[in-house]
Amino acid sequence: MDRLTRIRKYFDGELSQKEAENFLEWYLSEKSEEEVYAEIDKLWQAKGKSEFEWNGDELYKKLASKKDNERTLGVSRHIQAPKRGNQHRWWKVAAAVLILAVSSVLLYNQAGPTSTPEPMARVVKTNPAGQKSKVYLPDGTIVSLNSESSISFIDEFAEGRKVYLVGEAFFDVTEDASRPFTVYSGYLATTALGTSFNIRSYNNEQTEVTLVTGKVKVEKNNSNEIVYLTPGERAALGTDQSIIKGKADLLAVTYWKEGVLYFDKTDLNEVVETLERWYGVDISAFGDLPSIKCSGTFQKNEYLSNVLDILSHSVGFRYQLEGKKVKLEFNEK
C-alpha cells in the first residue's frame, strides 16, 4: 500500500488497528516531514490543480480524536505570550489533508470534463518553527521566508501580483511597472513596483514594514490612510491603530536572513518566543521572570545551547535542554 493510499484510508477509517498504529508511528517521525513535503511538491506540479483551504485547528482535532493513547503537546508557561500549543503538530496534519485534496482533484479531473470552470489554484508555502527557506514567485521575485511563516498567492499570479503573508519575510521584487506587487499582512497592504523590503507580521496588530531599496506604498486596510516609504524607513501600526512612520536599522531588521540572532532591548518574553520560533523548540518557564530587556548579537547559526548559556548568565536562570524541550527555572523573589 503506497503512502498516499495509506493517508487516505487512515482519514476514512479504513485501516486496521495495527495499520493505524504503523501510520501514526510514521506520522510522528522526522522522516514523515520530508516525505509529506516531497509528495506535496510533486502534486503541485501536476495538471488539474484546484483551490482549497483548511482550518489548521479543526484538522488537528480531527486527527487527535483518533489517537486514543497519543500524548498532546502542551507548554505550561508563565510568560504572557500568545498560546501556541500544538502548532508544530497540526501543520503535518494539514499537509496530509492537502495531499488528499490535491490528489482527489486530480482523479476527478482525469475522470472526464466538467461543466463548471475550474477555480484558480492557490499556492501556499509554509515554514514550521526552526526552518527558513527561499521561495521563487512566478514573476521572478525572490522571497526569504522566516520560520513559523507562510505566504500564499494565486498560481501564476493569474489575478495580479498579490501575496498574503503571515509571519516574516523579505521580498526582493522583480520590477514590472505595469503590474504593482502587493503584500497583504495583518491590517496593512504594502505595494511596490520593483524594490526590496522586509515585513514582520506574526501578530495582526504588530505588523511592521521596512524598506531597503526602492519605494513602497503602505496603506491600512479599509481606510484611506496611506504612507510612502523611502530606503531606511519603517511603517507600523501605533497603539491607536494609525500608521506610524520612522527610521529603521536595516542591518538589525535583516539579520535573520543571514542566520544571525539579534536582540536589541527586547523583552524577555519576546526573546523566549523568538527562540522557540528560531530553533523549533518548546520552552517552559517557571519562577519569577525579571522585568528586564535583553540585547545581544549571536554568531551565524549559533547553537541553542550556547545562546542559553549566555542568556542564563546575563539574565539569571537555570535551564534544562532535552531534545525539543527547554525548561527555564528562575529564582523566586
Tens of pLDDT, residues 68-122: 333 222 222 233 333 344 444 445 555 554 544 544 444 444 445 555 556 678 9
Task: Point out the domain boundary residue: 224, 254, 284.
Answer: 254
> Is residue 6 located within the same domain as residue 68?
yes
Q: How far is the CA of 310 from the CAs of 93, 205, 300, 305, 307, in angstroms?
A: 36, 31, 15, 9, 5
DSSP code of 252? H
Q: Which residue do the cell numbers 498532546 mark?
A: 72
At 40 the pLDDT is 59
What total number of domains does the chain contain? 3
d(CA 128, CA 277): 8
CATH number for the domain harbouring residue 207 = 2.60.120.1440
Task: Point out the domain boundary residue: 93, 119, 145.
Answer: 119
d(CA 163, CA 177): 17
> Is residue 320 located within the same domain as residue 242?
no
CATH number for the domain harbouring residue 275 = 3.55.50.30
Per-residue pLDDT, averaged over 284-304, amounts to 89
Q: Kindly indicate the confidence band of residue 14, based on its pLDDT and cuts at 50, 70 and 90.
A: confident
> Is residue 22 located within the same domain as residue 67?
yes
Model pTM score: 0.63
pLDDT at residue 290 greater than cutoff 70: yes
d(CA 122, CA 98): 12
> Is residue 141 located within the same domain as residue 207?
yes
**Domain range for residue 297?**
259-329
Q: What is the mean pLDDT of the chain?
A: 78
Inter-residue contact 199 to 236 (CB < 8 Å): no
Of residues 60 and 135, which shows the higher confidence score?
135
* b/e map 179-217, b = 16+ CB within 10 Å: ebbbbbbbbbbbbbbbbbbbbbbbeeeebbbbbbbbbbb
Tens of pLDDT, residues 47-70: 444 444 454 445 544 444 443 333
Poorest-pLDDT segment among 37-46, 243-252, 284-293, 295-304: 37-46
> Is residue 33 located within the same domain as residue 55?
yes
Beta bridge partners of 149: 127
At 22 the pLDDT is 75
At 105 the pLDDT is 46
d(CA 257, CA 81): 24
SS (H, E, C) 284-328: EEECCCCCCEEEEECCCCCCHHHHHHHHHHHHHCEEEEECCEEEE
Q: What angle do CA 159, 160, 165 make, to 5 degrees?
A: 100
Per-residue pLDDT, averaged over 233-240, amounts to 90
Percent of the chain with pLDDT over 70: 67
At 333 the pLDDT is 57
Of residues 208 and 9, which shows the higher confidence score?
208
Q: Kindly indicate the confidence band of residue 240, based on its pLDDT and cuts at 50, 70 and 90.
A: confident
> Is residue 242 located within the same domain as residue 269?
no
Of residues 35 and 310, which shows the higher confidence score?
310
Number of other residues whose CB lies within 10 A of the CB of residue 117:
6
First to last CA, the chain: 59
Beta bridge partners of 126: 150
Tens of pLDDT, residues 276-288: 999 999 999 888 8
At 57, phi and psi to the nearest 5? Answer: -65, -45
Q: Kindly indicate the confidence band of residue 248, based on its pLDDT and cuts at 50, 70 and 90.
A: very high
At 95 the pLDDT is 57
> Is residue 129 located within the same domain as residue 101?
no
> Is residue 114 located within the same domain as residue 183?
no
At 7, phi and psi to the nearest 5? Answer: -60, -45
Per-residue pLDDT, averaged over 263-286, amounts to 93
